[in-house]
Amino acid sequence: MISWSLQECVNPFDYCDVVTSTTHKSLRGPRGGIIFYRKGTKPRKRGILLSQGHESDQYDFEEKINFAVFPSLQGGPHNNHIAALAIALKQVATPEYKAYMQQVKKNAQVLASALLRRKCRLVTGGTDNHLILWDLRPLGLTGKFYETVCEACHITLNKIAIFGDNGTIIPGGARIGTPAMTSRGCLETDFETMADFLFRAAQIANMLQREHGKLQKTISKHPVPALMEIAPFLLNAASCAITGFGTEILDQPT
């Protein structure tokens, strides 16, 4: 949604009557969400005369959404939260934010290309926004197991269900975004290094499965040498390759 406001992606309002967005990810604002809904008169369908219109042919999202949010689902907002969101939205109108969003997309495309060169399968074959969806099934991994291995290596990403999965309990993919590390100053060359981190973590996950089975609890039971073996690689690479951040980069949430 924010990318569209900067003409950095397709307008979602051309296809949807209701558009939602988080406010704490790409927007870099306070934790929460925002909902947009269409108001006014509905467009007339073909073949309907002007005299056949009715007063009730109005979009009725406003009352339903407002009631669903408050008092149904959440309490009253806090003034500090509203102020933080206002500041974040004001920043969106600046040239600096537009440059940030453009860099987010560049970084995502570089990360996608780097994973593709390593024979990884990406949903849609790449990305044109800030996210990458990695199909882990060809590697014999589940998104849940890979997420846990990455977490043990201080790499934060999310498991996600993708097409062909048998439900969401055991998702077959991982979702990787670039805004957080872009905000920390990382550029294209840094994301080439991050692709090495991610692919190495997949290799470690495969090794764990071969030696200890697929159960997620094996990570805590058998941290040596599988998980500890990757730590020196990650810490050394981060301190050498990611300019200006050093080893603490791996301890930062995304």
Domain boundaries, the chain: 2-92, 103-251
CA distance 69 to 43: 27
Residue at 125: amino acid letter: G
Long-range contacts, 237-242 (Cβ 8 Å, 24+)? 237/193, 237/196, 237/197, 238/193, 238/197, 241/189, 241/190, 241/193, 242/186, 242/190, 242/193
Residue keyed to tokens 């990458």: 132
CA distance 84 to 197: 34
Structure tokens at 69: 């949010």
pLDDT given for residue 38 in this prediction: 94
* DSSP classification of residue 16: -
pLDDT given for residue 183 in this prediction: 94
CA triple 101-160-236, angle to 5 deg: 65
Q: Is CATH 3.40.190.10 what the domain over 103-251 is classified as, yes or no? A: no
pLDDT given for residue 43 in this prediction: 81
Give 90-149 as a DSSP string: HHHTSHHHHHHHHHHHHHHHHHHHHHHHTT-EEGGGS-SSSEEEEE-GGGT--HHHHHHH
The tens place of each residue's pLDDT in the chain, 254 residues long, gives 555 556 778 888 889 999 999 999 999 999 998 999 999 988 876 555 555 555 568 899 999 999 998 888 887 778 999 999 999 999 999 999 999 999 999 999 999 999 999 999 999 999 999 999 999 999 999 998 899 888 887 889 999 999 999 888 889 999 999 999 999 999 999 999 999 999 999 998 888 777 766 555 555 555 555 455 555 554 554 444 344 443 333 333 34
